[in-house]
Structure 1
Amino acid sequence: MSQPHVVVIGGGIAGLAAAAFLSGADGGGGRAAVTLLEASERLGGKLRGGEVGGVQVDLGAESMLARRPEAVALARSVGLADALQPPGTAKAAIWTRDALRPLPGGQVMGVPGDLDALAASGVLTPEGLARAGREESTPAVGDDIAIGAYVAARLGREVVDRLVEPLLGGVYAGHADEISLRAAVPQLLALARTGGPLLDGVHELATRPQSGGGPVFQGLEGGLGTLPVAVAAACRAAGADLRTGSPVDELRRTPEGWRLVVGGEVLRADAVVLAVPAPEAARLLRAEAPGAAAELAAVEYAGMALVTMAFRRADLPGPPAGSGFLVPPVDGRQIKASTFSSNKWGWLERSAPDSFLLRTSLGRHREEQALDLPDEELVARSLADLGEAVGLTAKPYDTAVTRWRAGLPQYPVGHLDRVARIRAGAERLGGLALCGAAYDGVGIPACVASARAAVDKVLTPAAGAAVTEGTMSA
C-alpha cells in the first residue's frame, strides 16, 4: 500500500513541523508523502533572521520556552543540538514610575506570590503594595474569566496595571482585561476555581521544582531564524516537496479526498493540514465548513513593530545592564519593551564584539497606529524612550524595522470553546486538521505540539478512508 499524500498549507513553524513529522525528517520514520504550500516567498513565519549592521540577528521571535520539550526536541532532531543555548542573563526589569525596577521574583505571568520580593522591587506604589497584601476573597471562578478582572478583584488594580499587563503584553500584545485565564494561564485557573488564596497558590507554583531542571528559555546560535531553515532542509532531505510563492486559491472536499487549486494547478491529496493564520483558514474553509469559517474569521489579531538597532560599543559609555525591560501601558510610553540582545545572547557578543544590538517593540491589540509610521519615526520614538529609561544618548549605526501586522492571535474569554467548535466543524469533513498559534498557544513549543496533534489526527483511520488508501498522490 502506498503512503498517503498529505498537503500542508502554511510554511510557518507549525506547518514545517507538520511536514517534518509526516515525512520523517524528525527521525521518526516517514508516514506520508508531503507537499507543503507557502503563499509567501519565505518559509518560517514569525521566525525570521536578518542582518543589521553586518550582524546576523532575529527579526521575529528570539527565544523558545524550554520547560516544554516540543520545540527543543524538534531543534535537536534537525541537527541543532549543539546550537541550543540559554540566555546569558535573565535579569529583566520593569520601567515604571520613572525608574527601571527589577522584575520581582516569585510571580507567575506577573501575578505575585512573594510580597517581600514585590516590596523590594519598588514596582508598586505604597498604596498598591498595601492593597496587594490585603488579598480579598472572591467567589470561585467557573468556566473562565479575564485575567485582569480576577487579579484586580483579588490583589488590586495596580498589580494588573504594573505587573500583569506588561508580562502579558510581551506574550500576546493584548489586554489583561480581555485575555482568558483558562487559555493563557491555566495553572492559575485551577487556583481560581477553588476560591482559595491567590498569593499562597502562586507562591507554591513559583517555587515548585521543575521537572528536568535546565533553563526556562533557550535560543539558538545564529538566532531562532535558523530553526525553520534547518527544518526545511531536513524535510527536503526526507523527500518532502516544499513550495514557496504558492498561495492556495481553492480547497474542496471530494469523495476521494481533497482538491486544491494552486495558481491554476490542481493538486489532489488524501489529507490536508491547515497551518495558516485564522483569517486565511476561514477563507479556505468557507465553502466546505461555513460554521468553522465564521468562527475562524472572528479570531482577532494584534500587530506590532520591532525596531532593531546596532550601536558601536565605543560610542557607549557603558552598555545597559541586564536582558532588557518591559513597560506597563499605564505609564504612557511609546515602546512596550526593549531587549538588550547582546547581553542576552552570548553568540551575539562573540560574533560582534565591537557592536551592541538591542531592539524595542511598539504596538498592541487595537493600538497599532505605530505600525503606519515611517521607519525613522519609530526609531526616533524608541531612542527617546531608551534615553529616558537607561540614559542612552548614542546613535545607532544601523537600524531595521520589522512590522508584524496581524502577528499575534488574541485569546479572549471563551477562546478555547471557539477552538473546540472550529475543530469539530473541520473534523466532520474528514482528513483535515488545523494547527498553529491561533489554537493551543502562541509559543513555539505550543505550535510544534499542535502540529504533532494535527498529523496524528489526519493519519488515523477515523480521519477518512481515503487517508489509509493513498490513492491520490499528486
Structure 2
Amino acid sequence: MTVVATRPVVIGGGIAGLVAAWELAMAGRRPLLLERSQAVGGPVARHILAGIELDAGAESFATGRPAVTDLLVDLGMADAIVPPAPMAAWVRHEGGSAALPAGALLGIPADPLADDVVAAIGVEAAAQAAALDARPVGALPDSLGALVEARMGRQVLRRLVDPVVGGVHAADPWLLEIDAVAPGLSSAVTTTGSLAAAVRTLRGAAAPGSAVAGIDGGMAELPRVLAERIIRHGGEIRCNAHVLGVRTTPSGQRVVLADTDGQRSLDADLVVIACAAADLLDPDVLGPAVPTISMTTPVTLVTLVLDDPRLDAAPRGTGVLVSRRVTQISAKALTHASVKWPWLADRLPSGRHVLRLSYGRGGSIATPDPATVLADASALLDIDLRPQDLIDSAVVRWPSALPQARPGHLAEVRALRAALPPGLVLIGGAVAGNGLSSIVADARTQLRAPCAPS
C-alpha cells in the first residue's frame, strides 16, 4: 500500500535527524521522523545507576565551533550549558602519564615550548617540535598523523596526539583526514605558517584546557527537548519503524517501511536520511564512495559508581586518554565524570564517584570483563580500586558510534551529495564526521534550503 505523505520524512532519530525534523517543524513543514529503535537520541542517551541519571553515551560537545551552543540557545537552553571543571585531563603513553597541555587541539600544542608540553614530551622533543614547526610550510599531507609528525615530530604525535585522537575518535591519526576531524586546520597552517599558530587561531579566545561544554543534568536533555519541540510544532515521531529502502520516483521519493501497521510505502517530495544510507539507497545512486564514507568504529562504555574517598583528590584530573601503544591497558579513555562535571558531583553523596571507561579502537569490538575494567581504572588513576567499593555499574555498547573520516572523505561527501536526486538530503555522522558539533552544523546547513520560505 502506498500512502501519499504531504510532509517531509526524516529517517533516523539520532541528533542529526532530530535537528533536521526540528528545523522542518519550525518552518511549518510538519515532518514525520522515523526511528528504528524504541527511543530517539542515538548515542546521546541516559541510564540510571545508583539512583542517579547519567549519560550513557556522549557526555559533552566541542565548543571550538559554535554549532551546538547556537542550537541550545535557539532551543532556550542557554542557561543549561555548563563548563567542565577547570583542571587538566591526562594522557597515558608508553613512557608514563602526564597532564595534557592546556593550550592544545586534539593534543597538538599551541606552544611546543610551554612548560606543560616539556613536562609531557621532554626538553629535547619540545625543542625539536619548535624547530620543525619554524620551517616554511609547503604542500600539506593528507592525514592528521602525517601533518603532526612533519611539523612537530614523533614524540608530539605519540605522546600527545595519538592518545587524544584514540580517545576521541577511536582511530589512528595517520588514517584521519585533517579537516574532517579539525575543520579549518589545513588552511590555518598555510595562512599562519606554522602548526602551533594554526592551533592558536582555531582555539581563539577559548580558555585553557578542554574546549568542551556539557548540559546540566546530562547531554540526554538535548534529544528530549528536541523531540518535545518537534511534536509541539506539528511534527510526528514514530519509533520502532524499520525503513527498508528509499527509491526515487517521477514525483519525488518513496520510503518503504515496516512498522506496527505492517509494510507500506510513503511518497514524499523531501526525504532526509540521517542514518546509514548504504542500507537504504540503490548502489547506483550512492556510487563507490559509500563503503569509505560509511566506515565506523564500535565503542563500549563502562560506567562505574564507587564509594572511595581517595578519589576526592582527582588523581588524574578530569580523566585520562590512552595511547594505543600502551598495550597493558585495554581502555582507550577514562573520564572521572564526577570530577569533570560539578553538576554531577553536587548530586552525589560525599565520597561517591562516577568513572566512565571507553573501549574499542580501530574496528575492534571490546567486551571487557569486570575485573579488566577495575584493573584498567586502577592503573590509569594510580589507585588500587577495591571491588567491595563498587556500588553500581553498567556496560553500554554503541555498534556504529564513531565515524572514521579517512583521507579523501570530504571530497567523497561532496561528490555524493552532488549526485543525489532532488528531494533527497543526506546528513549524520557518516558524512559530517565525528562529534556533535560537526553533526549539528552539517544538519542545519543542509536543511537551510528545504526550510527556506518558498
- The answer to whether TM tops 0.5 is yes
Q: In structure 1, which of residues 369, 377, 383 is the aligned counterpart of residue 374 of structure 2?
A: 383
Alpha-carbon separation, structure 2, partners of 1:94 and 1:20: 38
Amino acid corresponding to residue 454 of structure 1 in structure 2: Q
The match for 1:68 is 65
Alpha-carbon separation, structure 1, partners of 2:316 and 2:154: 30
Q: In structure 2, which of residues 290, 294, 319 is the aligned counterpart of residue 296 of structure 1?
A: 290
Q: In structure 2, which of residues 362, 365, 371 is the aligned counterpart of residue 365 of structure 1?
A: 362
Amino acid corresponding to residue 234 of structure 2 in structure 1: G
Amino acid corresponding to residue 436 of structure 2 in structure 1: I
Q: CA separation of 1:88/1:449 partners in 2, compared to 1, >3 Å: closer, same or farther?
A: same
Q: CA separation of 1:259/1:207 partners in 2, compared to 1, >3 Å: closer, same or farther?
A: closer
Q: Is the 8 A contact 2:80 2:215 kept in 1?
A: yes
Q: In structure 2, which of residues 80, 85, 90 is the aligned counterpart of residue 83 of structure 1?
A: 80
Q: CA separation of 1:67/1:252 partners in 2, compared to 1, >3 Å: closer, same or farther?
A: same
Q: Is the 8 A contact 2:88 2:317 kept in 1?
A: yes
- Once the two structures are superposed, residues 393-442 of structure 1 have per-residue CA deviations (whole angstroms, 9 ceiling, x without a partner) of 2332211111111211111111101101110111xx10111111122332
- Once the two structures are superposed, residues 300-334 of structure 1 have per-residue CA deviations (whole angstroms, 9 ceiling, x without a partner) of 11112111100014575855352111111222231
Alpha-carbon separation, structure 1, partners of 2:226 and 2:395: 26
The match for 2:248 is 253
Alpha-carbon separation, structure 2, partners of 1:329 and 1:58: 25
Q: Structure 1 residues 310-319 or 382-391, which shifts more?
A: 310-319
Alpha-carbon separation, structure 2, partners of 1:381 and 1:215: 28
How many residues are aligned here?
439
The match for 2:300 is 305
Alpha-carbon separation, structure 1, partners of 2:164 and 2:148: 14
- 1:42 aligns to what SS in structure 2? coil
TM-score (norm 1): 0.85
- 2:343 aligns to what SS in structure 1? helix
Q: In structure 2, which of residues 22, 25, 28 is the aligned counterpart of residue 23 of structure 1?
A: 25
Q: Is the 8 A contact 1:47 1:228 kept in 2?
A: yes
Q: Is the 8 A contact 1:273 1:458 kept in 2?
A: no
Q: Is the 8 A contact 1:107 1:206 kept in 2?
A: no
- 1:267 aligns to what SS in structure 2? strand
The match for 1:284 is 280
Q: CA separation of 1:191/1:453 partners in 2, compared to 1, >3 Å: closer, same or farther?
A: closer
The offset of 1:128, in angstroms, is: 3.0
The offset of 1:348, in angstroms, is: 1.0
The match for 1:326 is 321
Residue 401 of structure 1 pairs with residue 386 of structure 2: no
- Once the two structures are superposed, residues 68-89 of structure 1 have per-residue CA deviations (whole angstroms, 9 ceiling, x without a partner) of 3332233344343332211123
The offset of 1:222, in angstroms, is: 1.5
- 1:177 aligns to what SS in structure 2? helix
Q: In structure 2, which of residues 408, 412, 415 is the aligned counterpart of residue 414 of structure 1?
A: 408
The match for 2:128 is 131
The match for 1:27 is none
- 2:132 aligns to what SS in structure 1? coil
Q: In structure 2, which of residues 160, 164, 179 is the aligned counterpart of residue 163 of structure 1?
A: 160
Alpha-carbon separation, structure 1, partners of 2:348 and 2:286: 49
TM-score (norm 2): 0.88
Residue 234 of structure 1 pairs with residue 229 of structure 2: yes
Alpha-carbon separation, structure 2, partners of 1:220 and 1:317: 23
Residue 140 of structure 1 pairs with residue 138 of structure 2: yes
Q: CA separation of 1:207/1:296 partners in 2, compared to 1, >3 Å: closer, same or farther?
A: closer
Amino acid corresponding to residue 269 of structure 2 in structure 1: D
Amino acid corresponding to residue 320 of structure 1 in structure 2: P
Q: In structure 2, which of residues 214, 219, 228 is the aligned counterpart of residue 219 of structure 1?
A: 214
The match for 1:274 is 273
Q: CA separation of 1:197/1:453 partners in 2, compared to 1, >3 Å: closer, same or farther?
A: closer
Amino acid corresponding to residue 401 of structure 2 in structure 1: G
- Once the two structures are superposed, residues 338-395 of structure 1 have per-residue CA deviations (whole angstroms, 9 ceiling, x without a partner) of 11100111121111224210111111123x142xx3x5x1x32232122223233233
Alpha-carbon separation, structure 2, partners of 1:272 and 1:316: 50
Q: Structure 1 residues 404-413 or 133-142, which shifts more?
A: 133-142
Residue 177 of structure 1 pairs with residue 174 of structure 2: yes
Q: Structure 1 residues 105-114 or 167-176, which shifts more?
A: 105-114
The match for 1:52 is 49
Amino acid corresponding to residue 183 of structure 1 in structure 2: A
Q: Is the 8 A contact 2:49 2:394 kept in 1?
A: yes
- 1:351 aligns to what SS in structure 2? coil
Alpha-carbon separation, structure 1, partners of 2:309 and 2:334: 21
Q: Is the 8 A contact 1:140 1:192 kept in 2?
A: no
Alpha-carbon separation, structure 2, partners of 1:353 and 1:406: 35
Q: CA separation of 1:5/1:207 partners in 2, compared to 1, >3 Å: closer, same or farther?
A: closer
The match for 1:209 is 205
The offset of 1:218, in angstroms, is: 2.0
Q: Is the 8 A contact 1:310 1:399 kept in 2?
A: yes
The offset of 1:255, in angstroms, is: 1.9
Q: CA separation of 1:207/1:391 partners in 2, compared to 1, >3 Å: closer, same or farther?
A: closer
Alpha-carbon separation, structure 2, partners of 1:174 and 1:59: 21
Q: Is the 8 A contact 1:325 1:337 kept in 2?
A: yes
- Once the two structures are superposed, residues 257-296 of structure 1 have per-residue CA deviations (whole angstroms, 9 ceiling, x without a partner) of 22212111222212111111xxx3012111xx61425422
Divergent runs of 4+, >6 A: none
Alpha-carbon separation, structure 1, partners of 2:170 and 2:95: 22
Alpha-carbon separation, structure 2, partners of 1:188 and 1:310: 38
Q: Is the 8 A contact 2:86 2:209 kept in 1?
A: no
The offset of 1:130, in angstroms, is: 4.2
The match for 2:436 is 444
The match for 1:189 is 186
- Once the two structures are superposed, residues 216-266 of structure 1 have per-residue CA deviations (whole angstroms, 9 ceiling, x without a partner) of 422112110121011101111111110000011121222222221211122
The offset of 1:20, in angstroms, is: 0.6
Q: CA separation of 1:418/1:91 partners in 2, compared to 1, >3 Å: closer, same or farther?
A: same
Q: Is the 8 A contact 1:99 1:389 kept in 2?
A: no
Q: CA separation of 1:293/1:108 partners in 2, compared to 1, >3 Å: closer, same or farther?
A: same
The match for 2:424 is 432
The offset of 1:207, in angstroms, is: 7.0
- Once the two structures are superposed, residues 4-43 of structure 1 have per-residue CA deviations (whole angstroms, 9 ceiling, x without a partner) of 610000000010011111001xxxxx33121000111110
Q: Mind listing any 5+ residue stretches in structure 2 that lack a counterpart?
A: none
Alpha-carbon separation, structure 2, partners of 1:65 and 1:272: 29
Alpha-carbon separation, structure 1, partners of 2:111 and 2:7: 54
- 2:378 aligns to what SS in structure 1? helix
- 1:249 aligns to what SS in structure 2? strand
Q: In structure 2, which of residues 130, 150, 153 is the aligned counterpart of residue 153 of structure 1?
A: 150
Q: Mind listing any 5+ residue stretches in structure 1 that lack a counterpart?
A: 25-29, 462-467, 469-474
Q: Is the 8 A contact 2:299 2:397 kept in 1?
A: yes
